Structures are given as C-alpha cells and as structure tokens.
Amino acid sequence: MPQITVDYSDQLADVLDRRAFALELHPLTAGIISTGVDRCKTRFRRVETVVADGAPGHAVVHVEVAILAGRTAETVKELSRAVLELLDKHTASATGMVVHTSVEVRDLTAAYSKSN
C-alpha cells in the first residue's frame, strides 16, 4: 500500500518516462499520506484510447491511487492535486496532442490483503 495504477494512451509510450514518474510519485505520495516510500508500488498499463469523436491528437493518462482507509478528505484532495500536477509535468513534452489527465484516490476495501 499504496497500490498505484497508471493507464496511458499508446501514443504516449515514447513521451511518458514511466520510471521517472514513479520515482517522483512515490516520495510525493508517501509524504502526503504519512507512509514509507518502500510501501509504494506502481504499475503501468499501455492502453488503446478513443476520445470524443475519435479525432487524432488526443491522449489519456489516468492514475488510480488506492490507499488504506482513514485519511481525511483534505488529505485525499491534496494527494489528488499533487499527483495531477506531477502528471502534467511529466506529459508536458507531448507536443501536437491534447493530453487528458485525471487522478482518482480511493480507499482499499476490507477485502485487500498482501504478502511480501
């Protein structure tokens, strides 16, 4: 925990430096929700996306941050805003396209379990 998933449009494969993004995302997330960087795990999924009428020049990046319940609404909003800012920084070099970015911070359910 946190479990982070990043879905990104195929056309961003050469634009989004996934490792660099994750290495900035982990300490940012850990600092805001008061956990250890060593607990952060991120996986990336390259996906085919269609925006609006399917016209070219659009890409999508959606980040889901799943955390243990108990954080305040203010903390969740702070994390969401910070991740979105970081995401915008890491997609700024995507010239010639509109990058639609979004973040969802959600609580892990009671069904969550893990093993090291």
Paired tokens of 22: 């994750």
The pLDDT value given to residue 2:
96
Q: Give residue-wise pLDDT tens across range 56-97.
A: 899 999 999 999 999 999 999 999 999 999 999 999 999 999
CA–CA distance, 10 with 65 (Å, rounded to integer): 21
CA–CA distance, 53 with 36 (Å, rounded to integer): 43
CA–CA distance, 78 with 63 (Å, rounded to integer): 15
Residue 112 within a domain: no
CA–CA distance, 77 with 103 (Å, rounded to integer): 10
* H/E segment holding residue 44: strand 41-47
The pLDDT value given to residue 75:
98
Total count of domains within the chain: 1
Site of tokens 């269609």: 50
Question: At 31, is the pLDDT very low, low, confident or very high (cuts 50, 70, 90)?
Answer: very high
pTM attached to this predicted model: 0.93
Question: At 114, is the pLDDT very low, low, confident or very high (cuts 50, 70, 90)?
Answer: confident
The pLDDT value given to residue 98:
96
The domain in which residue 102 lies consists of 3-107
Residue 100 within a domain: yes
